[in-house]
Chain A
């Protein structure tokens, strides 16, 4: 037990669901409140601004569909990250794994002579594979050489980013692009179709939701899932029970990297129809997905909803930029505030906070 001013903190063994949910919502609300000075600083009435954003984002199906579209890569990456985080493997590399998937899909789209009907399925398959390989390298490094996974996954993002840069400036530079660093546009057979009046590439969305359910099932209902959880919660117990660490981590990162790879396929086949400068493809989705997974508290199903929340923040940010003429950093400010308060309020989940006067504790302690 710990005392902070008039408050008494008692450690919790496990936070009940309603506490987790309540604290998370609380953190998001506080983040929105903390952003109020930003609006005031730009001479806007914050409540009117929030109202305008609400109308702008929810006002019509085409505008609301943007929330879903921006959530697609976040769902795929976020679900993968919840899995990795459950095994306590800190995958900060979704950004690079997205790009790996994008590269593989672009290769298939542009250069592989396959029948039209097979092209998209093959793009998704190779994209998954490329993301998985990019995710497995840090596992190998950790298991064989004890390299810290935070560092290796993060650094591999830069490696993949430069690979993309090299491809678009070098061997894959499109002959029709007049020397600019872009590949040629994908053939029609390599482009995903949209829901009507939107840019929602529904196939990637469906994949994301289906795989979220699959990962949730894997974690909760299978022996493998049990092993993953044990590895994450108590590595010593896992070792003692004879769980094969390398195998469990490999499987986790195969799925986690693969899902991020699929997100990359969705982006190039659904939005860009070509490979281009890496930052315009991965768009920090891989880093935002870390917050998505964190907010989902390790639940793949919850990650669908937290991804939608960040889709909303992105769409609202776009709206704020155009309509309220706020600077482009506004989206980053919101993302940062949400993560900040989320992590700060973790204490409310690990500890139960009670208001207690000093005398009372005294009495309690002498009594024991």
Chain B
């Protein structure tokens, strides 16, 4: 009798456990406003996509959370019954880790950080390959040989993107320069406008940037100059001038992660080594002026007419080069990386030896500037 009772209790308990695992309530904590048209907007778009796709998933979000306040908000989300919590800013790292230790039965995932726990994973969708492809196009489109780049903060992530972009530019146009201006803000349309105008005054005629608004695109378009969208599809802001750009698909990561939680693959015990570093080949990022449009048709002719003598492919148009490189990187068995040695920094030091690729660790801690970058570079080794 006792035995039967024990079995019944176990079955009921397991049933309850399975039931509770079935329903997922996921909380998203954002550092910016969802209307920023950049980082936070993209995360929120992804949240809505997965939310609509699965019945067993309910999502809630909080926007504009100051970094020091993340624990307060996690407390509230846990009290509301969230069993998976995503925190989407590097500055949330320590707070998320502390909360993960305090709530061992809740699953956490932190974007862009490096600290993990048995119930806390990390994830990141990175653009460096996409910036490189944009760089190829920019190198072909500049007439002055000067390309402008408005940067948010001189941190490794932005430096990595700027370097990859410059490597692309110089692959098709070995004498072109990328002029950089830092605005020290993730979202500041006024500063971005000022920086773009200053770069135009310096003679730059093609633009790329890291800032969470379409300001650079708009300011460049007013002067009739082409640019590359950042983070969200920016084609609609200047259909004649957005050549291509970087588009993120966080939903690929969120879907994969939440499905694995739902199926019991990820639990509160086994996340200590789960780190998503998703690129073109996983579909987490896309090159294009808008989804499905790699190159704005208005610029196809110019890129097809720009033919160069490539060390690997021989005579090839930039148009073909972009797609060749895209295929090499989008293919699951990636056969090309922008940071492929030999690479020299602008002080003449060999930073990636011949035939080598950069490791994940060296990519995310990258501080140097490649040859071709012109302008201030705080923290340059």
Q: Which stretch, A6-14, A141-149, A172-180, A239-247, touches the partner chain B?
A: A172-180
Q: Write the chain B residue with the least CB distance to A272.
A: B68
Interface contact tally, CB-CB below 8 A? 78
Asked whether A322 lies within 8 Å of B62 as measured between CB atoms, the reply is yes
A283-B69 Cα distance, complex, nearest whole Å:
10
Q: Which has the most chain A C-beta neighbours within 10 Å: B64, B68, B94, B156?
A: B68
Point out the residues of chain A lying under 8 angstroms from B71, CB to CB: 199
**Which chain A residues (77-117) contact chain B, with CB distance < 8 Å?**
none
A200 CB to closest chain B CB (Å) equals: 12
What 0/1 readout, one digit per residue, does chain B (52-83) give for beta carbons within 8 Å of chain A?
00000000111111111101110111011000
Asked whether A280 lies within 8 Å of B77 as measured between CB atoms, the reply is no
Asked if B21 is an interface residue, CB under 8 A from chain A, the answer is no
Q: Write the chain A residue with the least CB distance to B29.
A: A322
Q: Write the chain B residue with the least CB distance to A60.
A: B79
Contact partner of A169 (CB less than 8 A), chosen from B62, B73, B365, B379, is B379
Asked if B118 is an interface residue, CB under 8 A from chain A, the answer is no
Q: Write the chain B residue with the least CB distance to A270.
A: B68
Asked whether B64 lies within 8 Å of A62 as measured between CB atoms, the reply is no
Asked whether B94 lies within 8 Å of A185 as measured between CB atoms, the reply is yes
Point out the residues of chain B lying under 8 angstroms from A318, CB to CB: 69, 72-73, 76
Point out the residues of chain B lying under 8 angstroms from A277, CB to CB: 67, 91
Asked if B251 is an interface residue, CB under 8 A from chain A, the answer is no
**Which chain A residues (273-287) contact chain B, with CB distance < 8 Å?**
273, 276-277, 279-281, 283
Asked whether A325 lies within 8 Å of B67 as measured between CB atoms, the reply is no
Contact partner of A322 (CB less than 8 A), chosen from B76, B90, B155, B365, is B76
Asked whether A169 lies within 8 Å of B184 as measured between CB atoms, the reply is yes
A66-B63 Cα distance, complex, nearest whole Å:
19
A169-B152 Cα distance, complex, nearest whole Å:
12
Asked whether B91 lies within 8 Å of A276 as measured between CB atoms, the reply is yes
Asked if A121 is an interface residue, CB under 8 A from chain B, the answer is no
Q: Given A165-B184, A276-B67, A179–B367 Cβ distance below 8 Å?
A: yes
Asked whether B365 lies within 8 Å of A178 as measured between CB atoms, the reply is yes
Number of interface residues of B (CB under 8 A): 36
Point out the residues of chain B lying under 8 angstroms from A179, CB to CB: 155-157, 159, 364-367, 379
Asked whether A169 lies within 8 Å of B154 as measured between CB atoms, the reply is yes
A170-B94 Cα distance, complex, nearest whole Å:
21
A273-B67 Cα distance, complex, nearest whole Å:
12
Asked whether A180 lies within 8 Å of B68 as measured between CB atoms, the reply is no
B310 CB to closest chain A CB (Å) equals: 33
Q: Write the chain A residue with the least CB distance to B69.
A: A318
Q: Given A173-B379, A199-B71, A319–B153 Cβ distance below 8 Å?
A: no
**Which chain A residues (302-341) contact chain B, with CB distance < 8 Å?**
318-319, 321-323, 325, 327-328
Point out the residues of chain A lying under 8 angstroms from B91, CB to CB: 180, 182, 276-277, 280
Asked whether B66 lies within 8 Å of A280 as measured between CB atoms, the reply is yes
What 0/1 readout, one digit per residue, does chain B (149-168) give for beta carbons within 8 Å of chain A?
00001111101000000000
Asked if A227 is an interface residue, CB under 8 A from chain B, the answer is no
Point out the residues of chain A lying under 8 angstroms from B365, CB to CB: 178-179
Asked if A353 is an interface residue, CB under 8 A from chain B, the answer is no
A256-B363 Cα distance, complex, nearest whole Å:
47
A319-B73 Cα distance, complex, nearest whole Å:
8
Contact partner of B114 (CB less than 8 A), chosen from A66, A178, A281, is A178
What 0/1 readout, one digit per residue, does chain A (25-45) give for beta carbons within 8 Å of chain B?
000000000000000000000
Asked whether B62 lies within 8 Å of A267 as measured between CB atoms, the reply is no
Point out the residues of chain A lying under 8 angstroms from B15, CB to CB: none
A322-B82 Cα distance, complex, nearest whole Å:
11
Asked if B375 is an interface residue, CB under 8 A from chain A, the answer is no
Point out the residues of chain B lying under 8 angstroms from A271, CB to CB: 68
Asked if A181 is an interface residue, CB under 8 A from chain B, the answer is yes
Q: Write the chain A residue with the least CB distance to B361.
A: A178
Q: Given A277-B67, A318-B72, A169–B378 Cβ distance below 8 Å?
A: yes
Point out the residues of chain B lying under 8 angstroms from A323, CB to CB: 76, 80
**Which chain B residues (355-381) contact chain A, with CB distance < 8 Å?**
364-367, 378-379
Q: Given A277-B91, A319-B76, A328–B63 Cβ distance below 8 Å?
A: yes
A179-B367 Cα distance, complex, nearest whole Å:
8
A-B contact pairs, 19 of them (CB 8 A): A170-B379, A178-B156, A179-B156, A179-B157, A180-B155, A185-B94, A199-B72, A272-B67, A277-B67, A279-B66, A280-B66, A283-B68, A322-B60, A322-B77, A322-B80, A323-B76, A328-B62, A328-B64, A328-B65
Q: Show the binding face of A for B, using Cβ within 8 Å.
A: 62-63, 66, 165, 169-170, 173, 178-182, 185, 199, 267, 271-273, 276-277, 279-281, 283, 318-319, 321-323, 325, 327-328
Q: Show the binding face of B for A, using Cβ within 8 Å.
A: 33, 60-69, 71-73, 75-77, 79-80, 90-91, 94, 114, 153-157, 159, 184, 364-367, 378-379
